[in-house]
């Protein structure tokens, strides 16, 4: 896969570039993606037919070597792509939509390139994760991406229980076939009233965003939903600290040698409770 006679002044030569592709509207493709599709020595695509379809809509001819690069061959192909870049080729990596390595092939390739000392760069662009987060109407200051939940109901439910107290906004991908069951499981694990948004066909003609409590969304999805789905769920509400829950902590610190007043002050500093009330409650608990 090595490419010979690569011009020395090619800025993209000898490195791997992860390029985001449109998640719906082809006009979201940046000019740099068009150029790289036309000029890259090697184009590694999750689905080569879909990539050629995208290139055709962009009016671009892919002149480099086109290879498939998906979840089933990533481990084997990663080494070949890294060697090609090490030999001086420009290697462009694209997934079907969005950013490679984010719930798509690419992570193993980046790890292999880093270990081999081959430069890696990113062509930023469309992302279903950030698009859904921005349009959801939920908090965006802190969030986490959880990708696809496990397919088996038991594994899925355990994962959701582990996330029940997650304070950050959570972003998930989901199949339309499993959406209703997933939303019902979320309502069970997180609470029926937890705010959420189902984002469907983002940036496409039939884009739709449903914002409602989880139980309501689960009922809506029972009739069937089509398209690419991203689910955004509000984080767990911050629970106010209760005095009675922290008296034992104050007593334990005092029993370990701290002055009772100092122990009450330390616990008050971390919980936001009243130092005076903690001190008095610890005295009363003697």
Q: pLDDT grade, residue 133 (50/70/90)?
A: very high
- Do 229 and 148 lie in one domain? The reply is yes
- Do 120 and 151 lie in one domain? The reply is no
Among the three residues 126, 161, 185, which one is the final residue of a domain in this structure? Answer: 126
Residue 6 inside a domain? The answer is no
Tokens in use for 207? 């884009």
DSSP code per residue over 144-210: EEEEEPPSSHHHHHHHHHHTTT--SEEEEEE-TTTHHHHHHHHHHHH-TT-EEEEEESTTSTT-EEE
CATH number at residue 47: 3.40.1010.10
| pLDDT at site 10 | 56
SS (H, E, C) 37-80: HHHCCEEEECCHHHHHHHHHHHCCCCCCEEEECCCCCHHHHHHH
| pLDDT at site 9 | 46
- Do 197 and 95 lie in one domain? The reply is no
User: Which uninterrupted H or E stretch holds 111?
Assistant: helix 107-116
For residue range 159-207, what is the model confidence (pLDDT) as tens digits? 999 999 999 999 999 999 999 999 999 999 999 999 999 999 999 999 9
Among the three residues 126, 154, 179, which one is the final residue of a domain in this structure? Answer: 126
Q: pLDDT grade, residue 2 (50/70/90)?
A: very low
- Do 111 and 19 lie in one domain? The reply is yes
Q: Taking the mean position of all CA atoms in its chain, how far away is CA 141?
A: 15
Q: pLDDT grade, residue 3 (50/70/90)?
A: very low
- Do 21 and 64 lie in one domain? The reply is yes
- Between 243 and 173, whose confidence is greater? 173
Q: pLDDT grade, residue 270 (50/70/90)?
A: confident
Among the three residues 107, 126, 145, which one is the final residue of a domain in this structure? Answer: 126
The 3-state DSSP class for residue 143 equals strand
**Residue 220 sits in which domain range?**
129-233
Residue 66 inside a domain? The answer is yes
- Between 204 and 12, whose confidence is greater? 204
- Do 26 and 102 lie in one domain? The reply is yes
Domain tally, the chain: 3
- Do 164 and 99 lie in one domain? The reply is no
Q: pLDDT grade, residue 11 (50/70/90)?
A: low
| pLDDT at site 226 | 94
């Amino acid at each position: 896969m090595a490419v010979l006679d690569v011009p020395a002044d090619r800025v993209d030569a000898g490195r791997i570039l992860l390029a985001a592709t449109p998640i719906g509207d082809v006009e979201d493709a940046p000019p740099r993606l068009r150029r790289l599709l036309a000029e890259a020595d090697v184009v590694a695509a999750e689905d080569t037919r879909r990539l050629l379809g995208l290139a055709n809509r962009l009016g671009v001819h892919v002149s480099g070597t086109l290879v498939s690069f998906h979840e089933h061959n990533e481990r084997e192909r990663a080494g070949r792509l890294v060697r090609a870049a090490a030999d001086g080729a420009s290697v462009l990596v694209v997934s079907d939509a969005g950013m490679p390595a984010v719930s798509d092939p690419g992570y193993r390739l980046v790890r292999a390139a880093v270990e081999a000392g081959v430069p890696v760069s990113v062509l930023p662009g469309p992302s279903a994760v950030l698009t859904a987060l921005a349009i959801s109407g939920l908090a965006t200051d802190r969030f986490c991406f959880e990708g696809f939940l496990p397919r088996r109901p038991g594994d899925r439910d355990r994962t959701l229980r582990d996330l029940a107290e997650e304070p950050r906004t959570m972003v998930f991908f989901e199949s339309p076939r499993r959406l209703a069951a997933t939303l019902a499981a979320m309502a069970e694990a997180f609470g029926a009233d937890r705010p959420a948004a189902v984002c469907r066909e983002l940036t496409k003609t039939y884009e739709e965003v449903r914002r409602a409590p989880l139980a309501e969304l689960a009922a809506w999805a029972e009739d069937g939903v089509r398209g690419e789905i991203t689910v955004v769920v509000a984080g767990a509400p911050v629970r106010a600290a209760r005095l009675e829950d922290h008296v034992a902590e104050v007593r334990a610190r005092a029993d370990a040698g701290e002055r009772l007043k100092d122990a009450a002050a330390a616990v008050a500093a971390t919980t936001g409770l009243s130092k005076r009330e903690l001190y008095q409650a610890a005295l009363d608990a003697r």
